[in-house]
Structure formats: C-alpha cells, structure tokens
Structure 1
Amino acid sequence: MYRTRPLRSAARCRRGNRPGRCRPRGRARCARSAEAPVPAGRRWHDPRHHPKGRATAGSCAPCHTRAADLTRVSHRLICPDNFGCEDHPLESPFASPRERGPLSDLRVLEMGQLLAGPFCGQLLADFGAEVIKIEQPGTGDPMREWGREKPHGLSLWWPVIARNKKSVEINAREPEGQAIIRDLVAKSDVLLENFRPGTMEKWGLGYDELARLNPGLVMIRVSGYGQTGPYAKRAGYGSIGEAMGGLRYVTGDPDHPPSRAGISIGDTLAATFACLGGLVALHARERSGRGQVVDSAIYEAVLAVMESLVTEFDKGGYIRERTGAILPNVAPSNIYPTREGGYVLIAANQDTVFARLAEAMGRAELATDPRYATHTARGKHQTELDALIAEWSSKLGREELGRILDTHGVPRGDIYRAPEMLQDAHFKARDAIVRVMHPMLGELKMQNVVPKLSETPGRVSAPGPALGQHNEEIFSGLLGLPSPRLAELAARGVIGARPLAA
C-alpha cells in the first residue's frame, strides 16, 4: 500500500478546508467527498464539496459579482457560472493552461522595492502567478518615480517592472499591518522580499515565525551580500554587487577606470537566480511538503556569470583586465565599421566560420595563412586581423554587408536601439515587443515574456497597477475584512484608503 501525504501548494484547500490526500501517480481526492478525483496536474478541489469555502465579503474584481455569489476555489474567488464569468473566462480554474499561465496556481506576496526583488516578481507574474505587491500606504514603491522620461509625470519603468501584479497598501512597520501580512502569508505559496537582512525579523516576519503559520511557505530573499556572513547587514545595491562580483573591473576600455553596463544588470541577475531558486524550492515542496528560504545575493549572482575568471587566477595567476569591445584571444569577434559610419558586429572566431568569412571577403587564402588558420593563431594576431576586416567592411553599406555575411553563413548583428527594435521584421514575427493599454498613458510597447513556452506560454495582461488598486479585492474578498474594520485601519494609516493614481 502506498503511503500518502497531505497535498501542498494549490493542491490543498485553503482556510477552513482540511487538505485531501494525494497518491503517488498524482491523483488527488477532495477531502469532503469520496468522488470526483482531481486529475494529475489540475490541482483544484471541486467547490461543490466545500460549502465553507463560499466567500463572505468582496466581489469579483472584473465584473463586480456580489460576494454571496462567489465561490472560493483553491485560493481564488470565482464567479459561479461554469466556475467563471461569461465575460472573464480566464478567472475559471478550468480554463486552458495556455490562457491561465503555468504558474496560475501560485500566490506570491511581493515585499521590498526598486528592482532586485520586484524583477523576480515580474518573472513569476509573467507566467501567471498571482503576485500581490505590498506597498507603503500613500507613497508606494519608489520605482513609481523612476525613469528617464516621465510623460504626465508618470514613470515608464513602473508599467514594465510591475506588470501583471496586484497592488495593496499595508504599513509593514505597524503591528496591525504585520498581522494582515501574516494572514496573507497563511494563504500564499511564496513571500518575496529584498530588504536589508534583519528587517523582516524586526517586524516579526522572519521565516521561522511565518513557517509556523504556513509550513509550505517558500521565502525568497534578495540582498546585496546574502543573509549570512560578516557583510550581510551592510547596505547593498546592484552596483555594489557588480563591483564585488568582478563585473565592474572588466567592463570598459583599458585606458579608462572601471565602467558599468547601461542597465542594472546586478539587480536583474540576482532576481533571475532568485526566481530560479524559488521554482526549485516549490518543486522540492511537492515531495517534502515543506517550504524553505531562497537566499539570492547580488554579488554571488554576478560572480556566477563571470565564466572562468577565478579559476584562471587560481591555476594560472592570470587576472582579467578591461579590454573594451573585444575578448582577448577570441578573434575575430568585434564591431566593424560600415560605409555609412555605423557598425556591425561580426563573430567568426571558430575555424570553420572564419573560413566562411575569408571567402566572403574574397580572401579565401586567409583561412590557411599560418597567422590566422587556428583559434590560437588568430588570438595572437588579433589586432592586425581586426584591421584587415575593418578595411574590407568600411567599403560596404550596412545592408550590403549584411547580405554578404548572411549568404556565407557568418554570424553578424546590427547594433540596435529602440527604434530599430520596433521596426525589425524578426522582432515582429516573434512578438518580441507587445502592446499593452495603460489607463492614462494609452498604448505602451514593452518587451514580451521570455522564454517562450510552446504549450503554456506567459503573457503580459496588464501594466503596473495604480497604488492600492486591489485594496478592496484583497482585504475584503480574500481576507474577508468587514468595511468598518477597513475604514478604521485606513484612518490610522495601517492600510491604504482607496486606489490612488499610479
């Protein structure tokens, strides 16, 4: 006889409903019925078996169906007809995985601000997770103010980093606000934060305490130096992690001080690894039934992509230096001028590819020239080889050069800015740029979800929300707090009073 264990994650009933039991082959039965097994991978209990699961307050956010007519299915409030509104079928738990998104059975609480934590939340929301962003009442995430261009005084970064998320206002510094967060934790799968280590513990929201409320909770923690070690409690931003992780030292030209990339790459690397760790922890929970802490340090995320930098010094005593547009001993791989004065990147550092480039140049003999015939030989003569290619490319227009290289199978790429991206046929064919409607800014173009999944792709459903846009949905609908109590909490600044402008 197979040993059974309680269902975890969305497979278990939420508040008021005891968990069912799961079987080794993924079949689950509702705890209140001996009938209607839940198919493997579906993980939704039949709401007809859960009279206590009916909502007592709130309404369906899209269509305002009254609370008494809503049914709680797992951790979502669903309109009664066929488990979904006629006008909003994506609210149905039985909608297709392609429409719901592969992470639609997960609820994520996002605390913290700016980029390192919120980008992790963006990645999860892109694939359907319900991400509830907790913000300071009245002010919200400072990212709402960031960006180089601010039409109508609104950030253009916020609609991207907060897309697909819900916004609620809770003062986490107040004991009553902390209590509300604990109630949300009890109904959630993941808590994501990027405060300085020790902050959550100071608020009574450390992992040990939260795990007692929800043993299956996965807590994703992003910080400059990690949760342990002598530097743990230092203030740390992405730029500091880029410096300590080794990236800044090797970025830029050799005759200039260390430079930086034009984006906050340290933050986004740490967030991406945090997302990976969170999904790994959720997978492990399927077997153990227990959550865990995911500790993503910015400097370690940068270090993780530094190739063989440490090993080269450890065994060879070699220290990588700034080399500008090239990688030493990897040739040819550089930007080369065109007749119009622009540049094209050509990467032909493998022997067979270089032979094709030599043929494209009308200089087939270069492929057998002892100075260029092998990877090592080309590395030793990198400067003169680059000069030969630049002399040839500068006599050709960009489009003509591209056609010649494509015909000969030589990897090349134009150096794009936003205007070129919006016009490029390949970007259009793959929907790399999507259009999203914003209530005040109109149509916004932004990068699509990456990577693309063939059966359960992610999608961008909405831009970043207004501050407190989902206060009523979460406080009344999910937590069931009565209106007088909400008014009292709002009057004292514990929660937001109403949706505000983004």
Structure 2
Amino acid sequence: MLPLQGIRVLDFGWVMAAPITAHLMADMGAEVIKVESRTHLDAARRGRPLVSGETSDGDLGNEPDLVPLFHSLNRGKLSITVDLTHPRAWEAIRPLVAKTDVIVHNLTPRASRNLGLTYERLAALREDIIVVSLTAAGQYGPLSDISGYAPSVSSLAGLEGLVGYDGEDPIGMLGLNFSDPNAGMLGYLAAVAALWHRKRTGQGQHVDLSQMEGVAQYLGEPFMEYSMNGSVPSPKGPYHPRMSPYGNFPTSEPDRWVAIAIDDDLDWQAFGKVIGESWVEDERFASREGRMAHRGELNQFVAAWTGPRTVDEIVLPLQHANVAAMPVMSIEDQFADPQHQAREVYVNVEHPKVGSEPIHGLAWKMSDTPGQVDRPAPLLGEHNRYVLEDLLGFTTHQVQDFQDAGVLE
C-alpha cells in the first residue's frame, strides 16, 4: 500500500508548479483528478508534439495529447474537462469537491475568486479540506495578484540578479524555470504536512505558498552579506566565494567537460597528488587565500592538465582520491549512464498515443513504500464518464446534458 493511497486530489493547476505537487501525490498513491478545459487549454498541452503533426499544430492546441512536457508533469492522473466559467460548472464541481481531500492550484488570488476556488467556499463544501495555492507572491500583500512565469518570480526573489559575469549586467538564468519545480516540491511537502495535521486533529487548512519566498530562501548568503556588511551582492561569474579551483574544465573529448571543486587544503593536497605537476607545489597555491587570489591563473593550469585527457582519465583518479570531480553530463549522457539507469532516474511508461516514452522517476527511494511511476498522463477529458458517473453518481442522461450545455468540453 502506498503512503497516499485513499487520498483524493483535485488539480486545478496550470503548466508546471501545481501540476508537479499533484503528480508527486499521484506517484505516492493518491487519486489525482486534473480539472482542465478545452476552451482554456493548459499551456503544457501546447507546443511541439512528440510524434506526428506540425509544430504549429501543437502551438495551436491541436495535438493536446502528444506534448511531452504535459506527459512528464501529469503522469498518473485522471482528466476531466469542465469549463469553470460556465454558469452550471459548479453543478459538477460541487459534489466532487465534497469527496476530495486536497485541492491544488497556482491561480492568482483574483482568478481563484473569479472561479469560486477560494478556501472559504471550498471549506464550506468539506470542512476538513486542504487547499494548497502556489501563487507568485502569496495570498496577501501589495503584489498578491501579480501574474508571471517562473523566470519572473525568480527575478522578483532576487536570484536572476545574481547570475552573470563580474562587472557586467546580470544575464539571469531565464531558461531554467527554477521557481516552478521548486514550488511544486515545496507544495507537496506542505500538502503532506497538512494531511498529517488533519489526521491528528481532524482539521483542514489553507496552505498559502509564495513561489517568490520559496526561491528567496536559497539566497541566505547574499542576504547575510547585505545585512551584516552593507554590501549589495552582484554577479561573480563562474567563481565560488571559497573554492578554487572551481568550475567546468575541458577534456580531449569533443564538447565534454568535467566539473572540479577544491574546498580546503586537504582537498588541494589530494588533488595535487593526482595531478603530479610542478605548479601544484607553487607557494601561491598552498593556502585557500592564495588560491583565491590567483584563481584565474590556477584555472588555466587546471584546464591545461584536463584538456589532453578523457573524462574518465580525469574523474576516476580524482574521485578515488576523494576529490569532487564529476562529468558534466548532457541529457544523452544521462540515458546511457549506469548510475542513472540503476536508480531509474528515467522510467519508461506506455502512453496510448505515443507508445513507450521515458518519464523522470522519483528522486527518493522509500524502502517499504517506494511510490510508482507506472501510468501515463491522461488524454484530454479521458475520465469524464468515470468521475461523473462512477464516482459522483450522475446518470448517463445527466452527463449528456452537461455535455450538450457546454459544461463538459
């Protein structure tokens, strides 16, 4: 039996943050029902289709069941299509909420009010319900109703302004969408904590998660630097405040690199024994302070040593000496890597329209209740009949009436 078996979750999420919270709950055994719409199609269902079709078809939403991003973010879920803006939508949603343990969404407070998804209204339908809202800046404050994407949120949190090269304008990390998966993981943690609280007390609650605050918690050192020293942190390029050498270094293999990080003098001594070059005896590099003061020249020496060697010729002896050296892996490398395979970083799931496709697995391995990634993402509206007829008890005639009226899409 999986840890969350018997728990039902309604996912009103959009794109990434809330859907990640919900799919993690599905991985751990919860029944997760994604409430979506053909009229207002989840952006994760748009984009380049995995098989067949043109890119333009995907962008227009004509291939909603073939987009790999959606498959990854929504594996293990059920799908119903309800137009929440329809005057009769709550005839279908109301009884479903009453049978639900957790509701997850990443709508702005304004949007959740407009759609009737406020905690107060939902708790009136089920007193012990748990609502997890993952908004950009939280439910209150002057910025509570701002809209944005993940890079917007990490910019607001201060992260983007720290990424770049020393003395130059910030370049940010806009392609990584860091705040979305981070918020999704935090949302899962908070949802499980709220379920534990409900088990002990019988009380539900509203989990108000600010994605901005979720990112800001990683900026402890810059915050301390400003609060204690009065200096405003700025981009420093590929340098670490304590470690040297530190960075990615070339190898003899085309477009393959190794990451090396030396922290203290013991690391440096172990590194030097493997290197065996005369420059490791240079007195300028004997202390952390000296290595930091001459880090540019030191990195050049390291690059000259790594350049003629293969990844394995660099990484294996350094790791044997307990030096932090790792290959810089591409996505292609990950699929072939024995460690990734052994840990099932990616698992193959059979999708009805795509066939077997790799989906990222669970990052944790629990000894007794390990979770599972064994069901594909749902087709759009695939489970309308199951949810409305089998779960809620509507008749076939009533479901058809919903369909004819445009409540179901």
Distance apart, 1:303 and its partner CA: 0.5
Q: 1:325 aligns with which of 238, 255, 279?
A: 238
Query: Secondary structure at 1:200's aligned position in 2?
Result: helix
**1:406 is matched with which residue: 301, 308, 319?**
319
Partner of 1:445: helix, strand, or coil? strand
> Retained in 2: the 8 A contact 1:223–1:298?
yes
Distance 1:201 1:256, change over 3 A: closer
Q: Does 1:274 align with 2:174?
A: no
Which of the numbers 25, 40, 52 marks the counterpart of 1:124? 25
Question: Is contact 2:243–2:261 with CA below 8 Å preserved after alignment?
Answer: no
The match for 2:147 is: 235
Distance 1:106 1:339, change over 3 A: same
Task: Summarize deviations over 1:123-151 as a string: whole Å, max 9, x none.
Answer: 2112111110001146642211135x642
**Rg (Cα) greater in structure:** 1
1:248 equivalenced with 2:160 (yes/no)? yes
Cα distance, 1:364 vs structure 2? 8.4
Tell me the residue number matched to 2:309: 396
Quote the offset at 1:359 in angstroms: 0.7
The alpha-carbon deviation at position 358 of structure 1 amounts to 0.9
Q: 2:110 aligns with which of 185, 189, 198?
A: 198
Name the CA distance, whole Å, in 2 between partners of 1:292 and 1:371. 59
In structure 2, the residue matched to 1:3 is: none
Secondary structure of 2:75 counterpart: coil
Aligned-partner Cα distance in 1 for 2:263–2:83: 55
Q: Indicate the residue corresponding to 1:381 in structure 2.
A: 294
Whole-Å Cα distance in 2 between the matches of residues 263 and 343 of structure 1? Answer: 20
Would the alpha carbon gap of residues 261 and 458 (structure 1) be closer, same or farther in structure 2, given more than 3 Å must change?
Answer: farther
Q: What pairs with 1:86-97 in structure 2 (closer than 5 Å)?
A: 97=1
The CA deviation string for residues 167-200 of structure 1, in whole angstroms up to 9 with x for no partner, is 0111211232123222111111101111111222
| CA distance in 2: counterparts of 1:125 and 1:350, whole angstroms | 43
- The answer to whether residue 321 in structure 2 is matched with residue 421 in structure 1 is no
| In 2: Cα distance, 1:222 partner to 1:142 partner | 17
Equivalence for 1:459: 372
**Which of the numbers 332, 335, 357 marks the counterpart of 2:271?**
357
Aligned pairs (5 A) from 1:76-91: none
Equivalent position to 1:152, from 39, 52, 56: 52
Contact 1:435-1:443 within 8 A present in 2 as well: yes
Is 2:74 aligned against 1:162?
yes
Letter in 2 for 1:136: S
Shift of 1:256: 4.9
Please state whether the residue corresponding to 2:285 is helix, strand or coil: coil
1:450/1:260 CA distance change after superposition, 3 Å: same
8 Å contact 2:80–2:384 — kept in the other structure?
yes
Instruction: After TM superposition, give the deviation of residue 407 of structure 1 in Å.
Output: 2.8
Q: How far apart, in 2, do the equivalents of 1:375 and 1:126 lie?
A: 45
The residue matched to 1:152 in structure 2 has which SS? Answer: coil
Deviation at residue 479 of structure 1 after TM alignment:
0.4
CA distance in 2 between partners of 1:228 and 1:349 (Å):
42
What displacement does 1:363 show? 4.3
Partner residue in 2 for 1:480 = 393
The equivalent of 2:43 in structure 1 is: 142
1:465, distance to aligned residue in structure 2 (A): 0.6
Which of 113, 119, 126 is residue 214 of structure 1 equivalent to? 126
1:461–1:329 distance in 2 versus 1, CA, 3 Å: same
| Pairs aligned (count) | 395
Aligned-partner Cα distance in 2 for 1:297–1:186: 26
Query: What is the DSSP-based 3-state SS (H/G/I as helix, E as strand, rest coil) of the residue aligned with 2:52?
Result: helix
SS at match of 1:358: helix
1:296-352 Cα shifts (integer Å, max 9, x gaps): 112111101123211110111232222232223322221111123532101221332
Letter in 1 for 2:131: M
Q: 1:258 Cα deviation (Å)?
A: 2.1
Note the C-alpha offset of 1:399.
2.2
Q: Structure 2-normalised TM-score? A: 0.91
Residue aligned with 1:308, SS: helix
Q: In 2, are the aligned partners of 1:146 and 1:158 still within 8 Å (CA)?
A: no
Match of 1:57 in 2: none
The residue type equivalent to 1:302 in the other structure is V
1:345 alignment partner, one of 235, 247, 259: 259
Q: Which amino acid is 1:113 matched to?
A: W
Please state whether the residue corresponding to 1:401 is helix, strand or coil: helix
Q: 1:182 to 1:375 in 2, by over 3 A?
A: farther
Kept in 2, the 8 Å contact 1:105–1:129? The answer is: yes
What do residues 61-101 of structure 1 show as CA deviations (whole Å, max 9, x unaligned)? xxxxxxxxxxxxxxxxxxxxxxxxxxxxxxxxxxxx2xxx2
Q: Match of 1:185?
A: 97
Out of 372, 377, 381, the residue aligned to residue 468 of structure 1 is 381
Question: Is residue 151–residue 174 contact of structure 2 (8 Å, CA) maintained in 1?
Answer: no
Q: What is the TM-score of this pair, normalised by structure 1? A: 0.75
Partner Cα distance (1:338, 1:103) in 2? 46
Query: Counterparts of 1:378 and 1:216 in 2: how far apart (Å)?
Result: 58
Change in Cα spacing, 1:179 to 1:352, as seen in structure 2 (3 Å) is farther
CA distance 1:373–1:306, change in 2 (3 Å)? same
| Structure with larger RCO (C-alpha < 8 A, sep 6+) | 2
Paired with 2:8 and 2:305, the residues of 1 have a C-alpha distance of: 57
Which sits farther off after the overlay, 132-141 or 482-491?
Answer: 132-141
The answer to which structure has the higher helix fraction is 2
- Amino acid across the alignment from 1:345: A
* C-alpha deviation, 1:373, in angstroms: 3.6
Matched residues in 2 for 1:288 and 1:308: separation? 38
Decide whether the 8 Å contact of 1:178 with 1:203 is kept in 2.
no
- The 8 Å contact of residues 385 and 399 in structure 2, kept in 1 or not, is answered as no
Are 1:448 and 2:361 matched, yes or no?
yes
CA distance in 1, matches of 2:133, 2:78: 20
Letter in 1 for 2:52: H
